[in-house]
Structures are given as structure tokens and as C-alpha cells.
Amino acid sequence: MIRQTARDVADGYDDDYWFDVADGMEPTEFWQDCADAGFLGAAIPQEYGGEGMGFWELSAIVEELCTNGCMGAEMLFVVNVCFGGITLAENGSEEQKEEWLPKICDGEANWAMALTEPDAGHNAPNMTTFAEEDGDEYVIEGTKQWISGVDYADQMLTVARTAPKDDAAKMQGVTLFLVDPDDTNLEARELDVGIPTPEKQYELSFDGVRVHEDDVVGTPGMGLYQLFDTVNPERLLGAAGAIGTGKCALNRAIDYAKEREVFDQPIGAHQAVQHPIADSWTKLEASELLLRKAAWMVDNEPDPKKTAEVSNMAKLRATEVGHDATDVAVQTHGGNGFSRDYAVIEMWKGSRLGKVAPGSTEMMRNHVAEHTLGLPRSY
């Protein structure tokens, strides 16, 4: 029923709508439809306006939306539902939950997440953005980069150091804050991005941004540990989007291969066209099973290390296979594959991001090698 509802929502938005979104239009109508369907609160407890289900259902929703042509929808769910809803549900104060979670569920509050820095990247403990304590406030100084959706966010989860880095405890001394994206001491510069995305990307400069101690999310100094509650769902929503996009592209390739005739028969009658599609489809199906396992573990596995292992595997496989599937779709369409009229080239460009973020394929392999296989740390 959940998947059918997602298909019904997706049916209301054609390729032209998503092209407009990629060109800068805010997807207000789509997002409200998702809120009305209960999607935004799927993994949020009922006492805060959510559906009280779990990540299993949320990941299925995202996968189905992308399978049915909602290009880039996974990014909207990552930034708003994951960074906003799941983070607050797991680590927020009672006051923060009561204020923001119902608004996230209803689509009234948009979110952003400021973590990545120019000189830190995957090495998050090496961040230099610092929040200096000043009475009952913190003063934030620093720079963040590749931050999504700042232009229409109502709140921004911001990660900053509150204690100097200590190699003996490098995972400590980092704190999560809620920051007003419209703060006058926060400068946002749009970055020129060469792929279609539903949200603009920004570089941010924090120049004396003040936040109250009530804006701290969770325990001061333990922010990186708290982010683990968000990182696994973030990666798995990316995996769900990759699988959905890959299936969407292949479905279009299948339809095209049935209809396009060359040498007096459909091109889909030839094994050279059939086999790449069949290979990609089976790989997507296998990746989906790994995603389902990881999603179940997010909801049921008490050991976050075990969940992280499977989540990294699922993200690695899904994003690589998903992008490969869009490549097969472009090839099946031949010259038409490069026409926006068929949209598969947009899926090809958009799905390429998944191999870099959230978490690059190289870092996924590093994690599997070290934590699953017991090999020496390589970085």
C-alpha cells in the first residue's frame, strides 16, 4: 500500500516538472503531496506528528518515488527528513522535538545540514569550524562547503568543534547545533554545479554566528557519535534513490527497445541490447535485497557497528549499480539517449553523484575492508 501510494504521488509529476526543479524551481507541490501522504513523518514517532513506522518504510518510499520518475527526490528526503527529522527524533531535546518535528512531518519546515568543509571532506574529525562558548551562547566561526538547500531552509543542523582536536580522542569535542540560515553573520555563496539537483549547493562562511545553548542538539562534545544515528540512514536513502533511478532508466530503456525498429525488427530482439539490460536489472534486484537488510537493521539491530557494515555495503553496491544502469539506458537509446526528451541522460548525470556522496565508493570499500574483513586500516 505504501509503495502504491508513492506511485500515485509520483504520477502527478512529469519530467518537465523535475527539469524545472533542477533549474531552480522549489518543488513545493510535490513536497506537500509527500507530507499529505504521511511520507515525511514515516520514521517519526506519532507523538510528534509522525506515522510511527520506521526506516524500512521510509527507504521503500524513496525508492518507489525514484523508480517512478521523481528525479533527485532522495536528496530532498536526506536533507529534510534524515538530517532534520531523524536527527531530532534520536537526539533532540523535548523542546526541539515538540517545536520542529510536527512541522517537518507537515512539510512546513525545511532543513539543511552543514558538515562538509573544504579541508576536511571525509575526515570529519579534522574540521576547523569552531563554536566558542560565551556565557549561555556559542559563537561559531568557520567555513562549510557543498551544503544543500540553504536558500529555503528554516533551520540548519551545523557541526562544529567545541574543543580542540586531541588525537587520543579525535571523535570527541564536536557538537551539533541548530542555526538560523538567515543569520546576518552567515554568508552563503552558491556553487556552480554541473548536475541536475533539486537543491542548490552553497559554500558558507560563519563569521561570529551566535546560537543559544538551547540550540545544542544532543550532548555537547559528542556530536560525531550522534551523527552515526543519521549517517547510516543518509547513506541508505542515497542507495534507495540510486536503485530507484536505475530501475526508472531501465524501464524506459525496455520500452524503447520494444518500440525502436532497425533492420525490420525491434532492437530489443538482439542479445547485444537485451543482455546489458538483463544484467543491470538483476544487479539492481540484488542491491535492493541488501538495502532491505540494512533498512531492517536500522530499525532492529541494537549494535550500530553491525548496521554500519551492511549500510556501507548497500550504499556501495546500489550507487555503482544504479549509475551503471543509467549508462545502459543511455546506450540503449543510442543518439536519443542524449536528448532531454527521454530524460535518461539527466538520470545518468544525477546518479553519478551517488558514487561520491554521501560517502565515496572508495570510503565504502575502506570501511568494508577494515570493519567487515579485518584488514589493516588503509587511510
> Residue 363 maps to which CATH number?
1.20.140.10
Q: What is the mean pLDDT of residues 140-157?
A: 96
Q: Do 228 and 368 share a structural domain? A: yes
Q: At residue 109, what are phi and psi to the nearest 5 degrees?
A: -120, 125
Decide if 377 is inside a domain.
no
CA pair distance 118, 317, nearest whole angstrom: 27
Produce one character per residue of 20-35: b if its CB has 16 or more CB atoms within 10 Å, e if not.
ebbeeeebeebbebbb
CB 143 within 8 A of CB 206: yes
DSSP SS3 for 117: coil
| Segments forming the whole domain that contains residue 218 | 113-222
**Residue where a domain terminates, one of 80, 110, 140:** 110
**Residue where a domain terminates, one of 193, 222, 251:** 222
What is the grid cell recorded at 378? 588503509
**Residue where a domain terminates, one of 51, 82, 110:** 110
Decide if 378 is inside a domain.
no
Q: Do 98 and 152 share a structural domain? A: no
Q: Do 80 and 41 share a structural domain? A: yes
What is the grid cell recorded at 241? 534513490
Decide if 23 is inside a domain.
yes
What is the grid cell recorded at 28? 513545493
Question: Would you say residue 120 has pLDDT above 90?
Answer: no
DSSP SS3 for 276: helix
Decide if 379 is inside a domain.
no
Q: Do 235 and 179 share a structural domain? A: no
Q: Do 102 and 164 share a structural domain? A: no
Q: Do 291 and 233 share a structural domain? A: yes
Give the pLDDT confidence score for residue 227 in this predicted structure.
Answer: 87
Q: Do 253 and 310 share a structural domain? A: yes
The beta strands (E) that lie in the chain are given as: 111-114, 130-134, 137-148, 155-161, 174-179, 186-190, 201-212, 216-217, 261-262, 265-266
Interval 92-118: pLDDT, tens = 999 999 999 999 999 999 999 999 999
Q: Do 142 and 85 share a structural domain? A: no
Decide if 265 is inside a domain.
yes
Q: What's the gap between Cα 306 and its chain centre?
A: 21
In this structure, which amino acid lies at residue 234? E
Decide if 167 is inside a domain.
yes
Q: Do 134 and 263 share a structural domain? A: no
Interval 270-295: pLDDT, tens = 999 999 999 999 999 999 999 999 99
Interval 155-200: pLDDT, tens = 999 999 999 887 546 678 999 999 999 999 999 999 999 999 999 9
Decide if 261 is inside a domain.
yes
Helices 55-67 & 271-300, crossing angle to 10 degrees? 160
Q: How many domains does the chain have?
A: 3
Decide if 138 is inside a domain.
yes
Question: Would you say residue 137 has pLDDT above 70?
Answer: yes
231: number of Cβ within 10 Å: 20
Which one is predicted more confidently, 213 or 225? Answer: 213
Q: Do 240 and 361 share a structural domain? A: yes
CA pair distance 311, 309, nearest whole angstrom: 6
Q: Do 364 and 238 share a structural domain? A: yes
Instruction: Identify the CA nearest to 273 among candidates 322, 331, 323.
Output: 331
CA pair distance 333, 346, nearest whole angstrom: 13
Q: What is the mean pLDDT of residues 217-235?
A: 91
Give the pLDDT confidence score for residue 168 in this predicted structure.
Answer: 46
What is the grid cell recorded at 160? 562544529
Q: Do 251 and 158 share a structural domain? A: no
CATH classification of the domain holding 84: 1.10.540.10
Burial (Cβ within 10 Å: 0-12, 13-18, ≥19) of residue 119: exposed
Residue 12 is classified by DSSP as: T
Helices 304-333 & 271-300, crossing angle to 10 degrees? 160
